[in-house]
Structure 1
């Protein structure tokens, strides 16, 4: 009878340990989940102001302004239907420019301005590295020379 109780205690302890481990893992996932929000969703009040999220869209043309400290940048992110002003203090990625895609991570302030702590520039799916483009041009040029065609 004693071995049956001991076996039951080990099984119950194993199940409880597995449940506790699952709870820790799920809590860690929930803490690291970052939602992606568009300017239109912010305009329609679908976002929450207390939560960190990622704002994505295009950098509006003519909206980039740098503060006197040279570190703080203000710009507007748009999705062609709505716009959100963004403030960011830090180094911007090389691909960041007006009209390009951007993802900013941070919080929406009470003033309606998005305060970013990280900015990522996006490129379209047609992007290829300059070295590859150069190599392809050279291959095409040599093929055209060999076949006698012109472009």
Structure 2
């Protein structure tokens, strides 16, 4: 299957939102367009999409992140491939694009975090050169409670 990797634009928001929903998130087109606009304008982020026959079939966000304890790294903060497009080399191509962007940013390390429930990703990332370095817990607190 022939696909193209390119940067996302606001007109892709609806298709990106639908892919995001495949992972169980409640993203809608309006919010996705707002977030995509901010990410696209940020020099610290890049949003790539994979397109097959004018249809967005996957997306990836990479971020240049500064850590006080370990310096600046690239981090893949999101990667989604539509169910019918998996195992076709699309995710690998998106990761390669992210790596090229990170190198252009002068970065030497790339990290990715993956939900423990996403077993497919735990098989995928080592295949494309990532090594598991630690396991963490994520805690969330609603700030609406503080109003």
Which of the five TM-score ranges fits, normalised by the shorter chain? Answer: under 0.3
> Normalising to structure 1: TM-score of the pair?
0.24
> Normalising to structure 2: TM-score of the pair?
0.24
Structure 1 or 2, whichever has the larger Rg, is 1
